[in-house]
Amino acid sequence: MLKYVKTMVLSLLITQAFPAMAFDLDNAEEIHEVCASCHGEFSQGGKQGEYPRLAGLSAEFIAEQLRLFQGRVRQNMPMLPHTEERELPEEDILDISAYITEIKLETKLPLLDETKKIDAFQRLMAAKKILNIARAEGDAKAGEKRYNQECRSCHGNKGWGKETVPMLAGQYTNYLWRQVAKYRKGLRIHDKDEPDEELLKDFTDSELQDIFAYLSIVDDE
């Protein structure tokens, strides 16, 4: 029963946010049950970045990454069985991508209205949709300056991403470091228009740590 209520609450939140949905909600919810086993019930990620946050990433970016997993361009063993074309055809990719992008995570609980009766269940559900990234070590001021010089044009103001470029703010620092390692080793391509570009190799670990320190406090604002 509790699982049913949670699903209904999530469905209501999504339909309110995007009433003119261009995707199959029932199909997306069924697919998301599989995703949730690793990425969390609200696609908030888990285990401090072992599984990344997906909520709020653009539908375009999510769909593109699923296609890369499916085509074995992006290697990730846990994703292999879930992205086989027979398991995840194109229409499913579009449905789940549109669904996940509409899940909104808050960074803190809303203030209580003491004039109204507190609904404990709603408060619990709201708490489950909170994601505030732990403050990373480093010089956040220096990181902000470096981010604005080198990253902002693609990843957007304060790191919240653009249509085809992922958010960096609100993402687990441990996960970002793992992706940096993959880019440096050539396991992932930073810019598909310039696949041989080695941009991240020009950053020192100290500079990246400062950037991540800045990104980790953006969601505190």
Q: Residue 131: its pLDDT value, please?
A: 87
The residue type of 58 is: S
Q: Determine phi and psi for 130, rounding to 5 degrees.
A: -95, 130
Asked whether the beta carbons of 165 and 61 are under 8 A apart, the reply is: yes
Query: pLDDT tens string for the chain (221 positions)?
Result: 444 444 444 544 454 444 445 789 999 999 999 999 999 999 999 899 999 999 999 999 999 999 999 999 999 999 999 999 999 999 999 999 999 999 999 888 777 777 777 777 887 777 778 888 999 999 999 999 999 999 999 999 999 999 899 999 999 999 999 999 999 998 998 877 787 787 788 899 999 999 999 999 998 87
Q: Give the list of residues 6+ apart from residue 177 with CB closer than 8 angstroms, or none.
A: 208, 212
Task: Classify residue 131: in a domain, yes or no.
Answer: no
Residues 86 and 8 placed together within one structural domain of the fold: yes
109 belongs to a structural domain = no
Query: pTM (2 decimals)?
Result: 0.84
Indicate the residue among 82, 101, 120 that finishes a domain.
101
Number of structural domains the chain divides into: 2
Domain containing 19: what range? 2-101
If asked whether residues 90 and 156 sit together in one domain, one would say no
Question: Is 110 a domain residue?
Answer: no
- Read off φ and ψ for residue 172, nearest 5 degrees: -65, 135
Please spell the DSSP secondary structure of 74-97, one letter per residue: S--GGGTTTSSTTTS-HHHHHHHH
CATH classification at residue 209: 1.10.760.10
Does 91 fall in a domain?
Answer: yes
